[in-house]
Structure 1
Amino acid sequence: MLRGEIVAGEFEFLAVLRHYEDLIDAPSRGYVFSPSHAWHCIDWIETQFQHIKGKLARTPLKLDAWQLFSTAVRMGWRRRSSGLRRFRTSYEEVARKNGKSTWKAGEADYLFLMDREIGAEVYTIATTREQAMSVFKPALENYKRRAKRSPRFSRSVKIYDGTNQERIAAGGGVFKPLPANAESLDGLNPSAIVVDELHAHRTREVWDVMESALGAREQPLIGAITTAGYILDGICTEIRSYLVQILRGDIVDDTFFGVIFTLDDGDDPFDPAVWRKANPSLGSAKTHEYMVAQATKAATLPSAKANYLTKDLNIWVNGAMSWFDIRIWDLGGVPFDPRELRGRTCFGGLDLSSTRDLTSFALVFPPDDLDSGEWFVLVWIFCPQAKVDEQSHSDAAPYAKWKDAGWLTVTEGNVLDYAAVRKTIKAACSVFDVQEVAFDVWNATHLANELMEDDVPMVQVPQNFSGLTPGSKLLERLVYSNRFRHNANPVYRWCASNVSLLLDTNENIRPNKKTSEGRIDPIVATCMAMTRALVHQPDPTPEIIVI
């Protein structure tokens, strides 16, 4: 790598360079590298651990070069005075599907059984216990396998495998997964900690609690293994920034190890030649075909691109991003006559804003052919006259023009008259076959109750990830496949150009009112309607093959 024979990003190169420079300079600072300690851990992992799933299941784990380097450096460097480990903290950042879970499970197992720590306590920690299990599970399955093969091993450890009770006990110590709840973590006496997916932690509270708990141990180790994420002001980016300063030589911290696998500034994320920088196991744990498929999808859908950049190329992305390319949105503006939709099955969404802002009601009409047919939408947008006057003075948006053209329904006064909204929805239900109207209980309960008195079928849909993700993903797919017909409504177009997308670490998406550059109410109403439309779509008929 240092000779340029392996494609590497800046921070991987600097991590390797740091190690080689330390081989020369670190002895003068009291540190020496012990190959025997490094290989002892590596040999343990590769002889004691097997893959637990996929095509490699039940075959021995063989570490890739980058894993060998990381394990060797963290386990091999020693304090000359005591022979204890040099590094107390580590931070490793790599794209997903590079084989980190089983590898980290093997390291944690070594630190539990082979670290010569009396009463060792090793914990895998994540924001949820389920995520913490992703590292612990490979260890648990390997312990069960080894216990079956060796009566002696079975007698030396106690394996607990009940749901939410999973843990391993041996020699007065414990190895177990834990959710990141700072209060529940108080009182622990850890010897080693693996923090999985640190990018999902919003505050440094849990990290601080665990770091301070390590003080009673002679050679403790707290290590984070993570991909990039969307929280740009959290503990993960703080620790990452600290590591970058170490790698670039701005500060010296001989107890902190780290490496970051990511693209460099100016790299084209769609160029296969740079993918290895973020994916050091490309070609082994992660296939080139997988990357091609992800890149192809990311080139089309904004939400897929954000996920591709963060998870597959390990690039930090703002959790709020512009959603629609307005040029693609405009392709759906082919005029149609709303009367053609009379009697067609449809689903509604109601986004009731404050009395001074836009309120929107949307109806979406699914096609008979769900695989390739076109979806139609009708939107009614309301605001008070005071809002029109305010916008006209500020030139922020041509509300008066939209009102005169019939695209915006305006009620007299300073606040919106919800009676006009109620009347419009009732009228729409008399013309179209409205199956449901989605509303958010937080701000529309009173009007929803009135509409239910009018026999309008109202259904609660919260404006959070659970309520909006299904409809948001469907709307995105339809827009970018040119299957969404919106009749070139200019108010709707303006809102589409304003909307920014909020993403989370579980690949959920929704419109973000807080970061959008203007009103987005009709888009939110559409996503709510889309969510309910999906609920009522028939499951695909299974194909019956006669042999």
Structure 2
Amino acid sequence: MANPHVVAANKYARDVIAGKVPAGKYVRGACARHLADLDKSKSKSYPFVFDAAAGERACAFIEKLPHTKGKWARMGERLVLSPWQCFIIVCVFGWKRRKNGMRRFRELYAEIPRKNGKSQIGAGIGLYMLIADGEYGAEIYSGATTEKQAWEVFGPARQMMQRTPGLLKAAGAEVWAKSIAIPSDGSRFEPIIGKPGDGSSPSCALIDEFHEHDTPDLIDTMQTGMGAREQPLTCIITTAGYNLAGPCYDKHSESKKVLDGLIENDELFAIIFSIDEEDDWASPTSLQKANPNFDISVDADFLMAQQRRATMNPIEQNRFKTKHLNVWCSARNAWMNMQQWQFCADPSLTLDEFEGTECVFVLDLASKNDICAFVQVFKRELNGQDHYYAFGRYYLPSDAIEENKTNQALYRKWVIQGYLIPLEGAEIDFDVIREDVRAMATRFDVQEVAYDPWRATQLAHQLAKDGATVVEYRQTVQNMSPAMKEVMAAVKAGRFHHDGNPCLNWMVSNVVAKEDAKENIYPRKDRPEQKIDGPVAIMMGVGRLMVAEPLYPVLPDDYSLTIV
């Protein structure tokens, strides 16, 4: 059979579309895109052409490599690509630019659950790019944030070469402690932590478990250095993660938009193995849908045992969903289902729609390293149900932005986009917030300004003198639990509305629900760098709007500071 791997790849795509292979929306999207492009390529006006021989060559090369782990390695078996793996390799290496024959795709983004052979694919691609891609002086980097992670791809690649002396000799390659080199033209394959050094010119960047990266620095530096290469490849093979503000989630979101047909990026090949939003994550069918190597490299009994454990222990659910079903779940023990939260987003929603409307202002003022939140919460009754609408302004001292290396890239991005307000110096300037509150109060019917007493008493007194009804809202379990539960219920029922502010989305994803013996819950965070000030302020606002009658007495006109 001519080009058997290409035949297998195309059959896989057709079987996915026909429903013969269990697959989620974004696997179906990748398959449909490939098949549609094959039809388009029949026209000479289409800028891309499919080179079956090139796709076949890459697959055939990878199948010459040996297994490095498990029973197949013990028996000395070589890699055998499953149809879904053939599909990825054939697409990435088979599609060419009609005008010059160079590869179409410069970027591969594949989200694959654990134990489905990600590292083997990454190692195979890396070795192909080193030995068989025809790139003189090739530079292949396995990049990660830690040495251990960088070796997850480089380690198997190194072992593959050591166990294939014929390939080693044919390529003229040498295997060293931390590199695979071809002295004749200076090609090399190395693990790298952080950014590559000056002068590096990557022809292939392999990024394993990209979800663990807090910033895009490594991949940005890699891609910037690729300018001199004719057909470089950035290969991101990862599972889903918890950091919804990180660069991996940005790439995940971009990939979904490409596969949904919302944006065009002809240089990105994307595929996401996961379940669909309407799927029951506890169903055995979901395991097959998300795990393309189900009962091949990942044991079916193991997955089902992990699934049963997650159904019995809520604490284990997000870990299971993220690692074995490829569902982004924010914090490991997250309070909010971020898919439901995103459904509540309406980017067209603006404060202008609420001019003159009753509302509650909330201030959650912070230390110098935390985000200070000033939120506006409105309530409307629709069809007999309470609907909440939340907006916010978020502040951070400029010194904190520069000193926080973990979140620095995020903060800078949000400052540029206008979602985070930088305040000069090392601490929050409360006068700026006071002026913002006063200016905003002229636009709406502000019933009260709720605040947490931590660091805010002086500002509260100043606002009271400005004429505001100021309510001290202590962040106790008794105050926070009902509000937290109401926000969750409103989000699930579609009764909560926000404008999609990415800074707020990130903070919501960081919230962990701490539960006591009486089933009260309280907002917490896993780590200090995970800020939650915005959602806490929203809970305070909803808590005040839930109160049918004011809990504070009528006070003299010149002083309206009250406590609940």
Normalising by the smaller structure, the TM-score range is 0.5 to 0.7
Deviations 1:86-144 (A, max 9, x none): 11111110111001111221111011000010001111111112111111111101111
- Note the C-alpha offset of 1:268: 0.8
Query: Which of residues 221, 244, 257 in structure 1 aligns to 2:269?
Result: 257
- Note the C-alpha offset of 1:501: 5.9
Aligned to 2:103: 85
Aligned to 1:29: 46
- Note the C-alpha offset of 1:276: 2.0
1:147-162 alignment runs, 5 A limit:
147=165, 152-153=169-170, 156-161=172-177
CA contact (8 A) 2:168 2:174 kept: no
Amino acid of the structure 2 residue aligned with 1:168: A
Looking at structure 2, the residues matched to 144 and 128 of structure 1 have their Cα atoms a distance apart, in angstroms, of 24
Looking at structure 1, the residues matched to 102 and 472 of structure 2 have their Cα atoms a distance apart, in angstroms, of 71
- Within the alignment, does 1:124 sit opposite 2:142 as a pair? yes
CA contact (8 A) 1:499 1:512 kept: no
- Within the alignment, does 1:5 sit opposite 2:29 as a pair? no
- Note the C-alpha offset of 1:76: 0.4
CA contact (8 A) 1:498 1:517 kept: no
Query: Which of residues 137, 141, 149 in structure 1 aligns to 2:155?
Result: 137
Q: CA RMSD in A?
A: 3.4
Amino acid of the structure 2 residue aligned with 1:107: I
1:311-330 alignment runs, 5 A limit:
311-319=323-331, 321=333
Task: State the secondary structure of the residue aligned to 2:90.
Answer: helix
1:32-47 alignment runs, 5 A limit:
32-47=49-64
CA contact (8 A) 1:167 1:176 kept: yes
Query: Which of residues 110, 116, 122 in structure 2 aligns to 1:98?
Result: 116
Looking at structure 1, the residues matched to 530 and 92 of structure 2 have their Cα atoms a distance apart, in angstroms, of 43
CA 1:512/1:191 → structure 2, altered by over 3 Å: closer, same or farther? closer
1:525-540 alignment runs, 5 A limit:
none
Deviations 1:353-386 (A, max 9, x none): x9xxxxxxxxxxxxxxxxxxxxxxxxxxxxx9xx
Aligned to 2:67: 51
Amino acid of the structure 2 residue aligned with 1:301: N
Amino acid of the structure 2 residue aligned with 1:238: D
Question: What TM-score, normalized to structure 1?
Answer: 0.59
For structure 2, list consecutive stretches of 5 or more residues without a partner in the other structure. 1-15, 336-366, 368-453, 458-470, 479-513, 538-564
CA contact (8 A) 2:161 2:168 kept: no
Aligned to 2:526: 502
- Note the C-alpha offset of 1:150: 7.0
CA 1:304/1:256 → structure 2, altered by over 3 Å: closer, same or farther? same
Looking at structure 2, the residues matched to 212 and 393 of structure 1 have their Cα atoms a distance apart, in angstroms, of 51
CA contact (8 A) 1:169 1:175 kept: no
CA contact (8 A) 1:146 1:153 kept: no
- Note the C-alpha offset of 1:278: 1.4
Looking at structure 2, the residues matched to 322 and 142 of structure 1 have their Cα atoms a distance apart, in angstroms, of 40
Looking at structure 2, the residues matched to 398 and 269 of structure 1 have their Cα atoms a distance apart, in angstroms, of 31
Aligned to 1:206: 218
Query: Which of residues 164, 188, 194 in structure 2 aligns to 1:174?
Result: 188
CA contact (8 A) 2:286 2:325 kept: no
Structure having the higher Rg: 1
CA contact (8 A) 1:321 1:500 kept: no
CA 1:397/1:76 → structure 2, altered by over 3 Å: closer, same or farther? closer
Query: Which of residues 233, 248, 252 in structure 2 aligns to 1:240?
Result: 252
Query: Which of residues 282, 298, 306 in structure 1 aligns to 2:318?
Result: 306
- Note the C-alpha offset of 1:59: 0.7
CA 1:293/1:514 → structure 2, altered by over 3 Å: closer, same or farther? farther
CA contact (8 A) 1:105 1:139 kept: yes
- Within the alignment, does 1:284 sit opposite 2:296 as a pair? yes
Q: Which moved more, 1:225-234 or 1:301-310?
A: 301-310
1:104-503 alignment runs, 5 A limit:
104-147=122-165, 152-153=169-170, 156-161=172-177, 165-170=178-183, 171-179=185-193, 181-182=194-195, 184-319=196-331, 321=333, 394=473, 397=476, 493=517, 497-498=521-522, 500=524, 502=526
Amino acid of the structure 2 residue aligned with 1:175: F
Looking at structure 1, the residues matched to 477 and 209 of structure 2 have their Cα atoms a distance apart, in angstroms, of 46
Task: State the secondary structure of the residue aligned to 1:257.
Answer: strand
Looking at structure 1, the residues matched to 49 and 477 of structure 2 have their Cα atoms a distance apart, in angstroms, of 71
The number of residues matched between the two structures is: 356
Amino acid of the structure 2 residue aligned with 1:157: A
Looking at structure 2, the residues matched to 40 and 63 of structure 1 have their Cα atoms a distance apart, in angstroms, of 13
- Within the alignment, does 1:73 sit opposite 2:66 as a pair? no
Amino acid of the structure 2 residue aligned with 1:96: R
Task: State the secondary structure of the residue aligned to 2:190.
Answer: strand
CA 1:177/1:394 → structure 2, altered by over 3 Å: closer, same or farther? closer
CA 1:131/1:397 → structure 2, altered by over 3 Å: closer, same or farther? closer
Amino acid of the structure 2 residue aligned with 1:106: G
- Note the C-alpha offset of 1:494: 7.0
CA contact (8 A) 1:198 1:224 kept: yes
Question: What TM-score, normalized to structure 2?
Answer: 0.58
CA contact (8 A) 1:89 1:222 kept: yes
Deviations 1:429-463 (A, max 9, x none): xxxxxxxxxxxxxxxxxxxxxxxxxxxxxxxxxxx
Identity %: 33
